[in-house]
Amino acid sequence: SQTIHQWPATLVQPVGSPLSLECTVEGTSNPNLYWYRQAAGRGLQLLFYSVGIGQISSEVPQNLSASRPQDRQFILSSKKLLLSDSGFYLCAWSFSYEQYFGPGTRLTVT
């Protein structure tokens, strides 16, 4: 069966510091991969998605970036965090319409 991992579970970072969140999927090959953010009291906002290694589509302009260096690895990065980057970050995978989510990372930018 497929399993999706995210780490770290929680992260507190100062404004202006870099960010790297990692997501890996086990038990499948060549999935579609996604990064979402849920801000406090808000819905899920799609940030990036990838249909293959090195293929990244960005949904919203921001100071975040994503990379897919391996088939089952998806990384969310920032060179300099803003206060507005605080939120709950979720990685997901899919082959079709249904997307399956990881446990999430709670990021607090101070």
Partner 1 sequence: DQQVKQNSPSLSVQEGRISILNCDYTNSMFDYFLWYKKYPAEGPTFLISISSIKDKNEDGRFTVFLNKSAKHLSLHIVPSQPGDSAVYFCAASGLTGFQKLVFGTGTRLLVSP
**Cβ(39)–Cβ(60) under 8 Å?**
no
The least distance separating partner 1 from the CB of residue 59, rounded to whole angstroms, comes to 8
- Give the interface segment with partner 1, choosing from 14-22, 61-69, 71-79, 90-98 (CB under 8 A): 90-98
The count of chain residues that interact with partner 1, using the rule CB under 8 A, is 24
- Give the interface segment with partner 1, choosing from 11-19, 65-73, 75-83, 85-93 (CB under 8 A): 85-93
In a 13 Å sphere around the CA of 9, the CA atoms on its Cβ side amount to: 1
Site for partner 1 in 9-38 (CB under 8 A): 32
User: Does residue 106 belong to the site contacting partner 1 (CB under 8 A)?
Assistant: yes
Pick the closer one to partner 1 by CB: 15 or 51: 51
User: Does residue 98 belong to the site contacting partner 1 (CB under 8 A)?
Assistant: yes
Nearest to 34 by CA among 3, 60, 56, 10: 56
**Cβ(24)–Cβ(72) under 8 Å?**
yes
- Give the interface segment with partner 1, choosing from 11-19, 41-49, 62-70, 71-79 (CB under 8 A): 41-49
DSSP letter string, 77-109: EESS--GGG-EEEEEEEESSS-EEE---EEEEE
